[in-house]
Structure 1
Amino acid sequence: MPSFAQSLEKTLHSALGHASERSHEYATLEHLLFALIDDPDAAQVMEACGVDLGDLSDVVRQYLGQEYQSLKTNQKVDPAMTAGFQRVIQRAILHVQSSGKDTVTGANVLVALFSERDSYAVYFLQQQDMSRLDAVSFISHGIGKGGRKIQDRSPKSSEDQPPQAEERADPKNKKDSALDQFTVNLNDKALAGKVDPLIGRGPEVDRTIQILCRRSKNNPLYVGDPGVGKTAIAEGLARKIVEGDVPEVLAEAVIYSLDMGSLLAGTRYRGDFEERLKQVVAELEKMPHAILFIDEIHTVIGAGATSGGAMDASNLLKPALSGGSIRCIGSTTYKEFRNHFEKDRALLRRFQKIDVNEPTIEDTIKILKGLRTAFEEHHKVKYTPDAIKTAVELSARYINDRKLPDKAIDVIDEVGAMQM
């Protein structure tokens, strides 16, 4: 169980003190925000995100003085934390625990506060043009408001300890972490701006979220032709998570994409592959909010198997999937689904199939319009609406061995490259 930083303990006592000195019966999220303004870790995050702490303090102080008359009591009582206050603290603890750290700071509580979207505390922060994504970007990458890199992040933040502190918190060196060696953190990739926006695919994303929220068999499986955008849905989900555009149950989720190339590379001896995968699964099982994404999951069936035995990666995953200790998103094609999954009914039972169909020409045009800015910045060109429409229509008509939107994206990329 993570412990509270000394500064956070003072902050929580201060929040209760603000309620007590005003004779309020309950300590609310607004009392907590008022105390976080003086917390060194939370204050640093807010300042990096462009918050005027003096102005915020005045607004919250005025709110507590004028709007909380109904909370006043004539009797001398110790204020009780509201349910929202308790949820924020519990959410911060779970997030720190799932990230493998051992100290909860004011910065973690500030991030958790954003999950209470209907509170005045979040409204006051949004008035300062601060979002949850701004806070997470600074804590994880030192990126302040406007994309500027800030070097002097607080070493007390449990999400950004220096290497020495991290090694003390975790006796196993971070470089030896199986997740760091054999997976890619899609949340970090989204925070770094390396994930294109997901255009359309609303039903597929909604179905994915619904499956992930299930108690059992909560493993989505994307099935579709190559090039229709199966991987983009998983990356788009990671982007939605860091932007806070998901249900509360997935607010702290982290998606790790399995790198089969790294997992298989250098496995000279029998058992090397299985040992690596077991390490990945073991680390994921310790993280309650982790989600494993396996692109081209059909390559897992048979991976690691030898001519003398039937052991492969799918047999290593089945116990974890059936026990619900990890959640997994997979993607495969219809051909590979028939050849592999339909033959392995035990593995198929653990997944919920989601058909990812080829988008229509109209939907593909919308997708390309959403991606246009990224290609224009890369190629230093401008794509007119007619050019995008023509690229989609002609690729759909003449490129018959591939699917939309991949082939249309390749066309505008190829045309842009010709202008370099």
Structure 2
Amino acid sequence: MNADKLTTKSREALISAQQIAAEHSHQEITGLHLLAALLGQDDGLVRPILERAGVPLDALKADLDQKLLSRPRVEGGEPYMGRELSQTLRLAEKDSAARGDEYVSTEHLLLGLVAAGGAAGELLGRHGAETGRLAAAVEAVRGAQRVTDPDPENKYRALEKYCLDMTALARDGKLDPVIGRDEEIRRTMQVLSRRTKNNPVLIGPPGVGKTAIVEGIASRIAAGDVPDSLRHKSVLALDLGALVAGAKYRGEFEDRLKAVLEEVTSAEGRIILFIDEMHTLVGAGAAEGGQDAANMLKPALARGQLRCIGATTLDEYRKHVEKDKALERRFQPVFIGEPSVEDALAILRGLKEKYEVHHGIRISDAA
């Protein structure tokens, strides 16, 4: 097998398998050592795939440890790759080619272990990791993504990594109630329901409650209290900080955002992306030599494949967004003012109980 065709995670797993064999004084590197290495990758894909397939990871790990301890120990000499592991790599490469992938990733190694049989394959099968269930789990985790570079993991489950599902939080009762903003919520939903130019941008001073309005929309979607055009939608808040964090190499930020946009567009309109501090998109990522985030959004916005809610202040909107005419054309401003005194009192009364529970105190109306 050509080692250049292994992804970074696959190479790390094989190196780790050799180290595990050496630590146990095992002469032969087997599928069991590779499985232990794959399960040890905290940020890898194998554990999420096995969880998706319904495999009890703790029980699998306990049985695997027991099998490794029961193997004969031989002191001296370097561990060598056995026939079972060689067969696993051949089958993994075959699976990669069948899927149209250009590299052998860790999910291919996992499927190779099952296909090769051997002690690792039998152990996986005993815990419910048979080929059909694993293949379905791989499709669910990977989606439509193909392995076209040595570091594909950043492109999988991008929405889980870089977005927060506000609709799910609303269903779980984890969002505060939104009080006294019915008119602003109605106007924002009206823009979202348009056929064209259906991307509202909430413009108002810091702390005025722009995010609360989006939370109000998410809560109404969760409760089914929305027009038909917004039913069964999900509001996901983009975490721009997480996208930028740790992006060391040229194009890494670009790849992450591209993966997010691909998942959003593949949802075929079921996702509404909320971008707080929208002005920070202009120039984000460009310092490393790639496109900035705003330019990456424009094609999807222009084709109507991406529905967005932005939020920013009036000064930042004029300074960054208005100057970019192509970006400005895609958004409809919705101006958010401070609540009236009556509305502010209603908001305080509505939130009073949550603060009382949190702090273990009583708050009187006079306070």
Query: Same fold per TM (> 0.5)?
Result: yes
Q: CA–CA distance in 2 between the matches of 1:207 and 1:260?
A: 26
Question: What's the counterpart of residue 170 of structure 1?
Answer: 140
Query: Which residue of the other structure, out of 257, 277, 291, is the alignment partner of 2:272?
Result: 291
How many Å apart are 1:169 and its aligned residue?
4.7
Query: Which residue of the other structure, out of 282, 285, 297, is the alignment partner of 1:304?
Result: 285
Please state if 1:320 is matched with 2:306: no
Distance 1:164 1:377, change over 3 A: farther
> What is the 5 A alignment of 1:246-261?
246-261=226-241
> What is the 5 A alignment of 1:341-420?
341-387=321-367
Which blocks of at least 5 consecutive residues in structure 2 are unaligned?
1-51, 53-132, 144-152
Question: What's the counterpart of residue 212 of structure 1?
Answer: 192
Distance 1:386 1:184, change over 3 A: same
Please state if 1:340 is matched with 2:340: no
Question: What's the counterpart of residue 243 of structure 1?
Answer: 223
Normalising by structure 1, we get a TM-score of 0.51
Question: What's the counterpart of residue 160 of structure 2?
Answer: 180
CA contact (8 A) 1:191 1:242 kept: yes
Normalising by structure 2, we get a TM-score of 0.58
Query: What amino acid is aligned across from residue 324 of structure 1 in structure 2?
Result: G
CA contact (8 A) 1:256 1:291 kept: yes
Q: CA–CA distance in 1 between the matches of 2:170 and 2:301?
A: 26
Q: Deviations over 1:5-39 (max 9, x none)?
A: xxxxxxxxxxxxxxxxxxxxxxxxxxxxxxxxxxx
How many Å apart are 1:247 and its aligned residue?
1.0
Query: What amino acid is aligned across from residue 304 of structure 1 in structure 2?
Result: G
Aligned length in residues: 225
Query: Percent same amino acid among aligned pairs?
Result: 48
CA contact (8 A) 1:217 1:322 kept: no
How many Å apart are 1:306 and its aligned residue?
2.3
Q: Deviations over 1:233-256 (max 9, x none)?
A: 111110110111111221101011
Q: CA–CA distance in 2 between the matches of 1:212 and 1:318?
A: 17
Q: CA–CA distance in 2 between the matches of 1:221 and 1:362?
A: 26
How many Å apart are 1:270 and its aligned residue?
1.3
Q: CA–CA distance in 1 between the matches of 2:334 and 2:159?
A: 26
Q: Deviations over 1:26-70 (max 9, x none)?
A: xxxxxxxxxxxxxxxxxxxxxxxxxxxxxxxxxxxxxxxxxxxxx
Q: CA–CA distance in 2 between the matches of 1:171 and 1:234?
A: 28
How many Å apart are 1:334 and its aligned residue?
1.2
How many Å apart are 1:166 and its aligned residue?
6.1
Which blocks of at least 5 consecutive residues in structure 1 are unaligned?
1-100, 102-162, 388-420
Please state if 1:331 is matched with 2:301: no
Q: CA–CA distance in 2 between the matches of 1:171 and 1:182?
A: 15
> 4+ residue runs of structure 1 moved beyond 4 angstroms?
163-166
SS in 2 for 1:306: helix
Question: What's the counterpart of residue 88 of structure 1?
Answer: none
Q: CA–CA distance in 1 between the matches of 2:266 and 2:358?
A: 40
RMSD: 2.1
CA contact (8 A) 2:141 2:157 kept: no
Distance 1:166 1:381, change over 3 A: farther
CA contact (8 A) 2:257 2:293 kept: yes
How many Å apart are 1:218 and its aligned residue?
0.6
Q: CA–CA distance in 2 between the matches of 1:266 and 1:308?
A: 16
Q: Which has the larger radius of gyration?
A: 2
